[in-house]
Amino acid sequence: MPSLVRGKVMHRRLRPVGNKFTYDAFSLALPLSRLGDLPLLGLAHNRRALVSFFDRDHGERDGSALEPWIRKLLAAESVAADGEIVLYAFPRMLGYVFNPVSFWVCHDRDGAVRAVLCEVCNTFGERHNYLLAHPDGRPLANGESLQSRKAFHVSPFCEVKGDYTFRFHFGPERWLARIDYDDGVGEARSALLETSISGIAEPLSPYAVRGLVWRYRWFTLGVIMRIHWQAIKLWSKRVPYISKPQPPLQQTTR
């Protein structure tokens, strides 16, 4: 069942200076097999509205169906996730959306999580995928650490090197995605950045969607403004600015 997840976004930088912020946030949890139900639940699908979800904001970005795209990607990576796939993402608010990261949680037919695809976007209009799955095909467990090398430029205050450590809580009511970034600087491994998005799920309904209009109508603008405001704060603290490199040639890192 499509859900609305209400919670918090947290971001903390530990070096070379400290910087932390937390703000209220929400996301949608959308089983791909139920996207056709969205209009009945008060959420516009592929049409303009105060709150809407467009297929072209994800996947191939051409408006094509999302489930065939992710199934093809999983098959190419030999991931046996033949059950429901749930997309956690922001919707469009007043016609606009920016998803710094969206999560595709891929289950098998027994309900176990076999993979998570993290779809990352930067403010330069580029995107990249990180596919998290065990090489031996075993399910992903709540709270376990999953690592991937950093391959994509996101912040102008971080180089493209080092590793991400991901942790998730996949419960039907509580959602948590935590991403720690270690740039590999120094002898002891320690995070440079800690980020998380968490929340409690409730059923999506016309009433809940109307509530989003009143409480979060400027949500997309707020996301973009916060990104730039935090960049100004880091610049004022003399954190070195890193010029944007060319994006990776491959679309997905595993």
For residue 163, pLDDT over 60 is answered with: yes
Distance, in Å, from the CA atom of 181 to the CA atom of 164, rounded to the nearest integer, reads 5
Q: Are 6 and 200 in contact (CB under 8 A)?
A: yes
Strands 92-93 vs 113-121: parallel, antiparallel or unpaired:
unpaired
Sheet of strand 163-169: strand arrangement: 146-149, 163-169, 174-182, 193-203, 3-13, 19-31, 85-89, 101-107, 113-121, 127-132, 252-253
Strand partners, 20: 12
The DSSP bridge partners found for residue 226 are: none
pTM, 2 dp: 0.95
Q: Summarize pLDDT for 95-152 with one digit per residue, the tens.
A: 999 999 999 999 999 999 999 999 999 999 999 999 999 999 999 999 999 999 999 9
Residue 171 above 90 pLDDT?
Answer: no
- Average pLDDT of the chain? 94
